[in-house]
Amino acid sequence: MSQVILRFAPSPTGHLHIGGARTALFNWLFARKQGGKFILRIEDTDQVRSTKESIEAIVQSMTWLGLDWDEGPIYQTDRLPLYREHVERLLREGKAYPCCCTPEELEEKRKKALQEKRKPKYDGHCRNLKTPITGRPAAIRFKAPQHGVTILRDLIKGTIEFENAELDDLVIERSDGWPTYNFSAVVDDATMSITHVIRGDDHVNNTPRQILLYEALGYPLPQFAHVPMILGADKARLSKRHGAASVMAYKEMGFLPQALVNYLVRLGWSYGDQEVFTKEELVEKFSLENVGKSAAVFNTEKLLWLNGLYIRQEKPEILAELLLPFLEQKGLKPRSLLWLTEVASTLKERSKTLVEMADQAEFYFRSEFLFDEKATKKHFTPDIKPPLEMLIAKLESSPEVDEKRLEEIFKETISLKGIKLVALAQAVRVALTGKDVSPGIYEVMKILGKEEVLKRLARALSKI
């Protein structure tokens, strides 16, 4: 078998969303599994909606997800002469014709067909036209067969037959000279020797038209694989109202790229009961045979669980670097990257996102935080004042504040004052963090440092 070649071909009319990212991922995994080539093609022929910002966002999203490409980005706007050449070929061979029907005339035909309960397909008015009518702009239509069936043998959906009588003569070039989506996609896929087209099943209805174009141009067909849609919890197609966001929005929400990749691949693909995969495992195990036929439901809670798992598995020094921009947004500056690594190591077990971790880290940076009212009422009682004062005195006279020495100081204090460790530890926790839930109290004290700990304990004493 010759080398497999796949492509991801987004339209730059907005950011890369979850459905597009999963399509890119499936193509990338298939290409990598087969030792093939993966091409990034930007379908930017929609001059009204395509933007440079969208192109940058797509490239940025692909890079962040780690979906590297072997060729590209290739822009359709750089290939206009190629499409024109193929249009002229079809015209010469009598497989296409100029259509001089105006948009107003076509709209009237459409309305009439709907009123008569007919399918609003083009009626072939200009089908036998050889040259454009003088003074009227002409689009170019493909002369599709009017009888027989077109068969799609889909690697996921199986065999689907389409009646040619139901397909109309597709516009392949608009009157302004720009190619249409179906035509440019076929020319690109054929001339790039694309062997497999993996895309969402919203493209199934485009496929018979594309198959007919391949046949008319004399190009071999690629193998098609249409993956099911992604749905929201209400089983409607995933959209912004479900909270669905662009790939880069998930980055901004504090998700790790490897967690999002792992989650996306499981939306429609499975490998036994395994839930968590490294990228290397995905390349090794991915196959179209294990892509389901049913639509997948997007579950934010599952993604959060998976992201928390990846955060817990990540090295603290990497988490520290990832955390920096989220801290900067809050106006928080770490003492050093090494210090921040220690902070991250205390928070990784309890954070589902980097945003959550930055929120939880705030007490390390700010001395003048608000005390939680419930926590102070419960733990800042008059009888805790003497033990706290003793603890402060012992800390002041101790040259070291490592975790072992801190544990000794706490034990000495509770022994002399006859109170439980939990009572003293919780009061200190609220004094240092403002809350009664935090990482281990000795870890927190060590990271804050002796001077800051004493400052915060003194502040808390004044509240009791």
Q: Which two structure tokens, joined as six digits, stand for 260?
A: 């999002």
CB 158 within 8 A of CB 223: no
Return d(Cα 51, Cα 41) in angstroms, integer: 15
Among candidate residues 411, 313, 322, 408, the one with its CA nearest the CA of residue 361: 322
Distance of CA 229 to the CA centre of its chain: 15
145 Cβ contact partners less than 8 Å away, ≥ 6 residues apart: 164, 212
Asked if the peptide bond before residue 137 counts as cis, ω within 30 degrees of 0, the response is no
Measured distance CA(370)–CA(409) in Å, rounded: 27
Structure tokens at 201: 């099943």
Residues 6+ apart with CB under 8 A from 272: none
Whole-Å CA distances, 279 to 243, 260, 262, 381: 26, 11, 8, 53
Tokens of 14: 């907005």
Distances (CA, A) of 49 to 53, 110, 322: 11, 25, 34
The string over 193-225, giving b where at least 16 C-beta atoms fall within 10 Å of a residue's C-beta and e elsewhere, is ebbbbbbbbebbebbbbbbbbbebbebebbebb
Does residue 240 have an active-site annotation? yes
Characterize the bridge pairing of strands 158-163 and 149-154: antiparallel
Number of neighbours of residue 161 by Cβ within 10 angstroms: 9
Q: Catalytic pick from 52, 119, 235, 240? A: 240
**What letter would DSSP give residue 67?**
-
Q: Are 238 and 298 in contact (CB under 8 A)?
A: yes
Q: Reduced to 3 states, what is the DSSP secondary structure of residue 353?
A: coil
- The catalytic site residues sit at 240
